[in-house]
Structure 1
Amino acid sequence: MSILKELQWRGLIKQITNEERLLKAEKNHSAVYCGFDPTADSLHVGHLMMIIMLKRFSDFGFKAIALVGGGTGMIGDPSFKSDERQLQTNEQLLKNFNSIEKQLKSIIKGVEFKNNKDWLGKFSMIDFLREVGKDFNISYLLNKESIATRISTGLSFTEFSYTMLQAYDFYHLYINDDCKVQLGGSDQWGNLTSGTDYISSKVGSDKTEAVGVTIPLLLKADGTKFGKTSSGAIWLDENKTSVYNFYQFWLNQTDEDSQNFIKFLTFYNENEIKKLIETHRNEPKNRHVQKALAESLTNFVHGQEKLDQAKLLTEGFFKGSIFDLDKSLIELAIKSMNSIEVKKNESLADSLIKVKAVQSKRELREFIASKAISYNNVVLVKEDLLIADINPIFENKIIIKKGKKSYFVLTII
């Protein structure tokens, strides 16, 4: 099977500039790249589609290149944003760049990393305008959807120039790294075609082998944006989103969403996915597809050892045996719980309301009456306890359990 057929059955091609060139690039084991701008110190699950796309191309014999935009990150992509990005300091960009490069290296083995600041940073303004700017017609740029949609609301020349910078990135990699394919989300189509058109203008329309491929935006079945929860983004950095919460995020997807995501985001083949979906339909309560999705992605991002820990924590949380886990796992569990800081002279009741374990003292009394709330594995029997009356665990922690599987942490300061 070719990479083209692989992407087609998975529904992973939104637009492609030239299918024949893609197949030729595969035959010649050319390079493929996609870019990640260092706008934060971690990538999130919204980036997983592109990370996994690089791995797919690598598995089909392409040389995969991850371009972390140390240069373009200083500008900001205007694509369909309602206002200008806030420019980051050089220090913050460097911190983000180093964090993302380290993160990607831990996830994808055998991928080459590039920083476009290495070549964009060498241009003077005059040089860039002479060597690159002269090849871009203003009317051509104004027809780019990402630019046209911003003209009425305001667009600085800084962001207006972004598509030229990205086009030059593709040209630089095309000439120096035999990179024939650029990948991007569907909102990047204008930038990708700027690159293929620019390369065509430089090497000749009859000689160019450049191809751009966009993938669909990852949306939920209801059309809402994927990767956001009530508590915020789901990060790939375990210090920002715990491995347990990452695992649970995938485990809690709906049947419809999980059946789409397992095609988009895992390496199960077509027959394996059909069997998983069929098994799931016969035993929906066992959530076979969600479990396969959660295990595959947690292993891909965090590794088998962290996946095993997440599964043990899941068993501990949902079977009520968290205090039977070893100390290191309980410490990991604590990182996954809603937590607040409290003082010794505070009442436990007020602290439980503050951490949102209960809504009111009246509700707390109902939980106490039904013996449904505990602290450090001790059933709570009265509401007038002070934090000082409770012996903490792990030096300064109080673990609250409400019902069968809701946990909270009070950290004594």
Structure 2
Amino acid sequence: MNIFDELSWRGLVHQVSDTEGVRKYLDAPGQAMYCGFDPTAESLHIGNLVPLLSLVRMMRAGHKPLFLLGGATGLIGDPSGKDKERELSNQDAVNGRVAHIKAQIEAFVERNTGQKPTVVNNYDWVKNMSAIELLRDVGKYYTVNWMLGKDSVKGRIERDEVGISYTEFSYMILQGYDFYHLCKEYGCRLQIGGGDQWGNITAGTELIRKKAAGDAFALTFPLITTASGKKFGKSEKGAIFMSASHTSPYAFYQFWINTEDADVVRFLKYYTFLSLEEIEALAAEVARAPQERAAQKALAAATTIMVHGEEELAKVLAATEALFGKGDLKSLDHGTLAAALESAPAREYQFDALPDLAQILVDLGLCPSKGQARKDIQAGAISVNGDKITEARALTQDDFLGEVNATQGAFAVLRKGKKNYGLVRLG
């Protein structure tokens, strides 16, 4: 199947400059295409997954995608989708983010293709360009009239109290030059990106055409929303990042497992490599037995593996089983267990100032009073790290997971009944 047709059945084609031209371009093996990732944070987030995965799909189909890091454009600021100016970042901050994101992209691509990606940084070809060169060799090919017609500019021009600076107004020229440069150096004639990037992408196709470099193509993906109309990619705590240091693999898995039935089939198409037949089978399961959440489990497993790897998925599943089924809490990876209990009530104590167990249960809000706590203990309703406690006592060093004498990290898991957890941390 032509990769364009695969993107189409997955619902990932929103705008395309020349449908037959793109399909014909992708019919030939080894074609180059690119998508840019500006370093606005130290980690990519799942809003970046559709373009990132699409480049990987291209690679798996035998093409040669380019992963562009915006070391230069990240210093300028893309006005697309923003109702006010971004704060400018300094060079060191941008360079640091570029390094993090490059490593993230390389790990992601190698995990999902077994090949090393071609990662380029637009700072490498923009840093030595003079203002005169930019104005004469690039700016000359754009009319202000044409630029004013782009949505990213119009939305700001029409807001007198905000407006748009010449810096952000010029962003599309830099992105257009990126496309022209990659066309010259790599033979790249296709740029992909989110729907809000249409103006910036077509700035590149225009520059390539006007500088007599031949045809170039643009393809964008739809804005991903939930069935309720909310923008996809955020939880109550904010963005879901692809870095384990920003969003734990457990929290990452839980985000996907909580996908609504109305969204899960679409998301299986967008965010997995599952075939049409496999997705249709899971859709039938959603209709037959939605309470089993087979499609959500498949989605969560697939996305966690592609971002964090099979080993991390195994840790997450073991923690889920131990917390909500049957399993040994003490044998779990401590980092995964702590992340799984991130939303549970927690209290921190110095080891030599630990109150008795009954008081800790009150402090955690698991019991309303020490008297009730003692009754719950005697009734066998309280456990520490999965072991039932039947007599009120103090916690010992053996009750803590991790190094008790370490600066941080040692903790004990208290549970009341089947689902009420609390975390005791040592300060």
Q: Same fold (TM over 0.5)?
A: yes
1:242 equivalenced with 2:251 (yes/no): no
- 1:215-242 deviation line (CA, Å, top 9, x unaligned): 0111111011111111222111112211
For the residues of structure 2 that align with 1:264 and 1:285, how far apart are their CA atoms?
23
The letter of the residue matching 1:63 is K
SS in 1 for 2:291: helix
Match of 2:190 in 1: 181
Match of 1:57 in 2: 58
1:215 equivalenced with 2:215 (yes/no): no
For the residues of structure 1 that align with 2:170 and 2:361, how far apart are their CA atoms?
52
1:90 equivalenced with 2:114 (yes/no): no
Q: Is the 8 A contact 1:368 1:381 kept in 2?
A: no
Match of 1:75 in 2: 76
Gaps of 5+ in 2: 405-409
For the residues of structure 1 that align with 2:341 and 2:96, how far apart are their CA atoms?
28
Q: Is the 8 A contact 2:15 2:219 kept in 1?
A: yes
**Greater shift in the superposed pair: 183-192 or 393-402:** 393-402
For the residues of structure 1 that align with 2:222 and 2:144, how far apart are their CA atoms?
28
Match of 2:338 in 1: 334
Match of 1:225 in 2: 231
Q: Is the 8 A contact 2:349 2:424 kept in 1?
A: no
SS in 2 for 1:79: coil
1:251 to 1:203, Cα distance in 2 relative to 1, 3 A:
same
5 Å-filtered alignment, 1:19-168, equals 19-28=19-28, 29-109=30-110, 110=115, 111-151=117-157, 152=159, 153-168=162-177
CA drift at 1:69: 0.5
Match of 1:273 in 2: 279
Q: Is the 8 A contact 1:322 1:330 kept in 2?
A: no
Match of 2:407 in 1: none
User: Alpha carbon RMSD of aligned pairs, Å?
Assistant: 2.7
Match of 1:358 in 2: 365
Q: Is the 8 A contact 1:342 1:351 kept in 2?
A: no
Match of 2:424 in 1: 410
1:291 to 1:210, Cα distance in 2 relative to 1, 3 A:
same
CA drift at 1:308: 1.8
- 1:260-302 deviation line (CA, Å, top 9, x unaligned): 1001111111111111111332222221111111111111111
Counting matched residue pairs gives 404
- 1:37-72 deviation line (CA, Å, top 9, x unaligned): 111111111111111111111222221111011110
Q: Is the 8 A contact 1:343 1:387 kept in 2?
A: no
Match of 1:400 in 2: 414
Q: Is the 8 A contact 1:36 1:68 kept in 2?
A: yes
**Greater shift in the superposed pair: 48-57 or 402-411:** 402-411
The letter of the residue matching 1:223 is G
1:374 to 1:118, Cα distance in 2 relative to 1, 3 A:
same
For the residues of structure 1 that align with 2:88 and 2:103, how far apart are their CA atoms?
23
SS in 1 for 2:80: coil
1:253 equivalenced with 2:259 (yes/no): yes
Match of 2:16 in 1: 16
CA drift at 1:353: 8.0
For the residues of structure 1 that align with 2:46 and 2:131, how far apart are their CA atoms?
36
Q: Is the 8 A contact 1:320 1:404 kept in 2?
A: no
1:197 to 1:282, Cα distance in 2 relative to 1, 3 A:
same
CA drift at 1:103: 0.6
For the residues of structure 2 that align with 1:194 and 1:32, how far apart are their CA atoms?
16
For the residues of structure 2 that align with 1:363 and 1:45, how far apart are their CA atoms?
43
Output the TM-score relative to the length of structure 1: 0.89
1:330 to 1:154, Cα distance in 2 relative to 1, 3 A:
same
CA drift at 1:341: 6.2
Q: Is the 8 A contact 2:358 2:373 kept in 1?
A: no
SS in 1 for 2:190: strand
Q: Is the 8 A contact 1:32 1:179 kept in 2?
A: yes
Match of 2:5 in 1: 5
The letter of the residue matching 2:170 is S
The letter of the residue matching 1:290 is Q
For the residues of structure 2 that align with 1:364 and 1:201, how far apart are their CA atoms?
79
Q: Is the 8 A contact 1:144 1:190 kept in 2?
A: yes
- 1:127-151 deviation line (CA, Å, top 9, x unaligned): 2111111111111111111111011
1:388 to 1:314, Cα distance in 2 relative to 1, 3 A:
closer
